[in-house]
Amino acid sequence: MITKPAAISRRSALRGAAAGLGGVLLTAGATGCTAQGTDAMPSGDDAPSPGAAVPGQDGRRVLLACFSRAGENYHYGGRTKLDVGNTEILAGMVSALIPCDVHRIEAAEPYPESYDATVARNVREQDQDARPAILNPLAAVGRYDTVILASGIWNVRAPMIMATFAESYDFTGKTILPLTTHAMSGLGTTVRDYRQSCPGATIGEGLAVKGEEVRNAGPGVGSWLQRAGLLPARR
Ligand SMILES: Cc1cc2nc3c(=O)[nH]c(=O)nc-3n(C[C@H](O)[C@H](O)[C@H](O)COP(=O)(O)O)c2cc1C
């Protein structure tokens, strides 16, 4: 889905409202990781319109690249069925607070609905150091200063498709901010992994949110964005 600049304006308005209210409880954003903005879209027939990324705080242009899987998932030691992936909900909070282009990374071969089958596939992919193909690769990341890499944690690291994404571009001079949802592993090895995948980039402070508690993450997300200089500090 491609969202026109008006949608970015709406997010800017939401950001202003949220910043003004301070500590506002953010609910799950409807936008989630759904592709937003004009650089954040599949390659192919949909050519990006140049210069459409909206500058945010201090003129910084932000890309939020997100991989999230709905379906059967881990939940406090048991299982639950997620209609929307946890990281997609978290990404919706970020995109409601700051102007950014959102790119939802889709696997060319979708991951199974079953949790156990997904665990098994991920173990295979990690063992093989695989780079699962992306269905909708971004054309370029050149216009962005800051790239938020958002995903769940699978077997203590980001899903291997995040390595596919991170190794597809030159992030030299950009700031990478890891953003994860997880059960107990926090950021896992994402900081180390992105440092390796994105030589020349600065890996900034990451944020890890427990998947089961993602709907309460709004205040923490706001503080993190403030510390990253992407959201004005409250007065
Ligand atoms: C294949 C698989 C492996 C996982 N491995 C871990 C893990 O090692 N550590 C952890 O804390 N959580 C692990 N989890 C839980 C997920 O990180 C957590 O549910 C996350 O919020 C999922 O994000 P998503 O719904 O956006 O895909 C795993 C989940 C899956 C599906």
Task: Map out the domains of the chain as residue ranges.
Answer: 5-226
User: How close is the Cα of 173 to the center of ligand 1, in Å?
Assistant: 30
Q: What is the pLDDT of residue 32?
A: 57
Could you give the maximum distance between any two Cα atoms of the chain, in Å?
A: 50
What amino acid occupies position 79? R
Q: What is the DSSP letter of 27?
A: P
Q: Is the CB of 115 under 6 A from ligand 1?
A: yes
Query: In the structure encoding, which two tokens stand for residue 24, read together?
Result: 């506002």
- Cα separation, 51 vs 55, in Å, equals 10
- Cα separation, 210 vs 186, in Å, equals 8
Closest atom, ligand 1, to C-alpha of 152: 23
Could you give the C-alpha distances from 227 to 15, 58, 207, in angstroms and in order? Answer: 16, 14, 11
- In this prediction, the residues of the chain whose per-residue pLDDT falls under 70 are 1-54, 235
Q: What is the pLDDT of residue 25?
A: 24
CATH 3.30.750.24 fits domain 5-226: no
Q: Which of 203, 206, 139 is nearest to 173 (CA)?
A: 203
Contact 170, 200 (CB under 8 A): yes
User: How close is the Cα of 130 to the center of ligand 1, in Å?
Assistant: 18
pTM for the full predicted model: 0.84
What are the pLDDT digits (tens) for 180-222?
999 999 999 999 999 999 999 999 999 999 999 999 999 999 9
